[in-house]
Structure 1
Amino acid sequence: MSNRFRVSNILADRLSEHGLALGAVLQRASLPADLFQQERIYLTTDELFSLWRAVGETSGDPCIGLRLGTEERVERFNAAALTALCSQSFRDALQRLSRYKQITCPEMIRIQQEGGEAAVEFLFLEADQEEPGTLVDLCLSWICSIGRRGTEGQARPIRLELTRSLQHRETLEAHFGCRVRFNAARNAVIFRASDLDRPFVTHNADLLKVVGEQMEAEFREWKAGASVGDQVKQTVKRSLAGKRPVLGDIARQLGMSVRTLQRRLTEAGISFQQVVEDTRRELAHHYLRQSTVELTEAAHLLGYEDTNSFFRAFQLWEGTSPGQWRSLNSSRD
């Protein structure tokens, strides 16, 4: 997938509504002054981060990301968000959002369920710097607003995990209605696993059929154009944390038999293990650039049984240890 994010022109209106001068924001972000006059707006990950960093710095409002992540006007929802709102349950909504994210940008929504909890995490796959706090606040607030609206307030987060250091605790806890853990290994919002099965009162079968079919058509088109290696890599990234990828599980998620997936990988001249290792290597770089992610946590998130296995693999990839690589690349954060 190319390193391009599609940005809606509606964002310009929303920023203006919150009192931000677009010219000042774009100048601070070193982006073209006519950006929002373009018919189609595409930004790289670095440019997207610059934009949202500039929004936070220009506004001077610690709540700006939270406010922008809570959209009450349904007519402003994009097709994926509208599909989520019309879904049968919170779980259904999250799975649809995760599925359709693959079409549009190098960003992934990962849902990790463990021990009665379900964590929803955003991963920016091409990032080589930490995510701006404003963008993190927007993404997590947006997920919570979808769940809250669909369940009439029944699906409530039980914890927020942020990689940033302690700041604005009272503001964040008041907005999300839960405690916040700072200096965490990830940016994620945690729900009770049972909340994901709450039905959506906003479920609309007719509208879901119309919008959902449009999204599924786009997904099929994307899938047809994506190589089997890219499809496997995206699926592995969504299911990697805490467990070793298994060919059968990946094949099932792609809607193929194990035999078909093996044949297509062979035809492409790659192996399943090769794709897994390439995926782990990419994500290892991502996690090591996050200063709050401990090496033991990185090993777990990459699906290794122990830290030594991760260290050995990383030494083969890079010719150095994870700690040394982090030190050498810290200037890029």
Structure 2
Amino acid sequence: MSIVYQVRSGALSGFLPLVSSLQGDVDGLLAEVGLDREVLANPDRLIGIEQLASLLDNCAKCLDCADFGLRLAGYQGIDMLGVLGRVLLTAPTLGAAFNAAQRFMALHNQAEHWRMREEGGRVCLHRIEHFYAVDNPRQYREMALGACCRLVRAFGGEDLRPLRAEFVHQPLAPLSRYRQFFGCEVLFNQEFDRLVFDSSVLQRPLLPPDGQLLAQVDDYVRELLSRCEENLELQVRTLVSQTLGLQQHSLAHIAALLGLHPRTLQRRLLAENLQFKALVQDVKMKTASWYLSASSLEITQLADMLGYAETAAFSKAFRLSQGLSPSQWRAVHGVSKPLI
């Protein structure tokens, strides 16, 4: 079974100004991997992980910029997250945002997910890849870890620095460049790609949302919905899928994102012979089916991501929907090779 792993083109936030500053041919570099400038204008366009990894690698080589992935991460902030960035900004503490973000990353980016673990007074953010067919995606890995570090500072404060950053590969640029970017010790040839913080950061309150940033994200939400404004079902499905991993997909919250009263949303759905609960359940089952087919994500974690208090409840719901248990579905439809 061939699995195509895709990521939102929002991951290319900052690509245009960065390549331009390096006197690079933006259109030529994009075309080389089968992309065009539309991916820079539409952050919700899905692109293959192979395309993204190849693009970053090509840029590093063609522009003689060994730290291209890190430089691109330096352009990225909360605004690249779109509607989910808006939701994350409501978290009371950085710990709550971390918990939400690990769910968000797994549902938002098909190519990877993140896990947060506390170990002896330290909190570790592990980056876990789902794909294995891409040759040496080191620029992509550095961009991903760098973007995570940037987002931690954007949510918690510019004074936040990891205690340590770790990569599974060898350095691509001088070690001083990594220390400058992360502001801490950086290790290579490690078991995981991860950032390590003191566990005290979990209690840090999030920075007050910037009014201009909120306005930008609200504009993004309106643009997102305008693409399917004639289709209420598509609007609801889009918002549920974007907020599912954050447990922000209640009727009240989705209605608020649509600028409607919950009863008004229910009434409009009923007029189209639709029910909100049924739409949410269908999105959950489609999401579960994809992850069981395309990743090695543990079933217990998948159940938690989808909002089930118990794995047994998720398994029962999945069997009723798909006719197979989650493990049976994975055995029939899953990838045949172990994932990184």
TM-score tier, shorter chain, comes to: 0.5 to 0.7
Deviations 1:175-234 (CA, angstroms, capped at 9, x unpaired): 2111122111221111122212211123579x59977x9955633567632427438849
Which secondary structure state, in structure 2, belongs to the residue aligned with residue 189 of structure 1?
strand
Deviations 1:66-123 (CA, angstroms, capped at 9, x unpaired): 2221237766653333443553222222233332334443131222332322222333
Aligned-partner Cα distance in 2 for 1:32–1:217: 25
Tell me, yes or no, if structure 1 residue 141 matches structure 2 residue 146: yes
Deviations 1:257-300 (CA, angstroms, capped at 9, x unpaired): 55533422443333355468789x8597223xxxxxxxxxxxxx
Gaps of 5+ in 1: 288-333
User: Structure 2 matches for 1:30-41, cutoff 5 A?
Assistant: 30-32=33-35, 36=39, 41=45
Which secondary structure state, in structure 2, belongs to the residue aligned with residue 155 of structure 1?
coil
Deviations 1:307-333 (CA, angstroms, capped at 9, x unpaired): xxxxxxxxxxxxxxxxxxxxxxxxxxx
Q: CA deviation at 1:130?
A: 4.9
Deviations 1:103-157 (CA, angstroms, capped at 9, x unpaired): 4431312223323222223333234235522222222122112222333234321
1:64–1:222 Cα change, 3 Å? farther
Moved more, 67-76 or 165-174: 67-76
> What is the match of residue 314 of structure 1?
none
Tell me, yes or no, if structure 1 residue 5 matches structure 2 residue 7: yes
Aligned-partner Cα distance in 2 for 1:232–1:24: 34
Tell me, yes or no, if structure 1 residue 22 matches structure 2 residue 76: no
1:93–1:57 Cα change, 3 Å? farther
> What is the match of residue 315 of structure 1?
none
Aligned residues with identical type, % of pairs: 15
Q: What TM-score, normalized to structure 2?
A: 0.64
Aligned-partner Cα distance in 1 for 2:241–2:339: 31
Tell me, yes or no, if structure 1 residue 225 matches structure 2 residue 277: no
> What is the match of residue 125 of structure 2?
120
1:24–1:152 Cα change, 3 Å? same
Q: CA deviation at 1:7?
A: 0.9
Query: 1:88·1:203 contact (CA, 8 Å) conserved in 2?
Result: no
Aligned-partner Cα distance in 2 for 1:36–1:260: 39
Gaps of 5+ in 2: 222-235, 250-278
Q: CA deviation at 1:30?
A: 3.2
1:145–1:215 Cα change, 3 Å? farther
Matched AA of 1:120:
L
1:278–1:14 Cα change, 3 Å? farther
Matched AA of 2:199:
A
Aligned-partner Cα distance in 1 for 2:94–2:328: 34
Within the candidate set 270, 276, 281, 2:324 is matched to 270
> What is the match of residue 192 of structure 1?
198
Which secondary structure state, in structure 2, belongs to the residue aligned with residue 128 of structure 1?
coil
Query: 2:103·2:305 contact (CA, 8 Å) conserved in 1?
Result: no
Matched AA of 1:132:
P
> What is the match of residue 339 of structure 2?
286
Aligned-partner Cα distance in 1 for 2:328–2:120: 31
Q: What TM-score, normalized to structure 1?
A: 0.65
Which secondary structure state, in structure 2, belongs to the residue aligned with residue 227 of structure 1?
helix
Cα RMSD over matched residues?
A: 4.2
Query: 1:85·1:146 contact (CA, 8 Å) conserved in 2?
Result: no
Length, aligned pairs only: 277
Query: 1:66·1:141 contact (CA, 8 Å) conserved in 2?
Result: yes
Tell me, yes or no, if structure 1 residue 164 matches structure 2 residue 223: no
Matched AA of 1:225:
V
Which secondary structure state, in structure 1, belongs to the residue aligned with residue 118 of structure 2?
strand
User: Structure 2 matches for 1:190-269, cutoff 5 A?
Assistant: 190-203=196-209, 218=242, 219=244, 220=249, 224-227=282-285, 229-230=288-289, 233=292, 250=303, 254-257=307-310, 260-267=313-320, 268-269=322-323
Query: 1:110·1:122 contact (CA, 8 Å) conserved in 2?
Result: yes
Aligned-partner Cα distance in 2 for 1:2–1:265: 23
Which secondary structure state, in structure 1, belongs to the residue aligned with residue 165 of structure 2?
strand
Query: 1:163·1:183 contact (CA, 8 Å) conserved in 2?
Result: yes
Which secondary structure state, in structure 1, belongs to the residue aligned with residue 339 of structure 2?
helix
1:223–1:264 Cα change, 3 Å? closer
Which secondary structure state, in structure 2, belongs to the residue aligned with residue 156 of structure 1?
coil
1:41–1:266 Cα change, 3 Å? closer
Which secondary structure state, in structure 2, belongs to the residue aligned with residue 118 of structure 1?
strand
Q: CA deviation at 1:158?
A: 0.9
Q: CA deviation at 1:172?
A: 0.5
